[in-house]
Amino acid sequence: MTIDAEVLSEAYSILKQYIPQKDRQEAADNLMSVMVDYLSDQELNDLGRVDAALTRAYKEYAGDSEDEYDTDYDE
């Protein structure tokens, strides 16, 4: 089974409305930790642009190597 990063981003955006704000960072961290095994680096980067929580999760995964990482996301 292949995972389309665009579909995953859309699903996350829908489901995050059901996650309390205080738990969203943990959910994003867990999602990113699972997706590193299934997505390419570029797809992970794209997923990290969905919202602030995924941006932080991606930066943690990438080791903050993305200094010019664009935080253009819809909250």
The domain segmentation of the chain, as residue ranges, is 5-62
Q: Which residues make Cβ contacts (< 8 Å) with residue 49, sequence separation at least 6?
A: 55, 70, 71, 72, 73
Positive or negative, the CA dihedral 62, 71, 74, 1 is negative
Positive or negative, the CA dihedral 11, 6, 62, 33 is positive
- pLDDT by residue (tens digit) across 21-73? 999 999 999 999 999 999 999 999 999 999 999 999 999 988 855 454 555 55
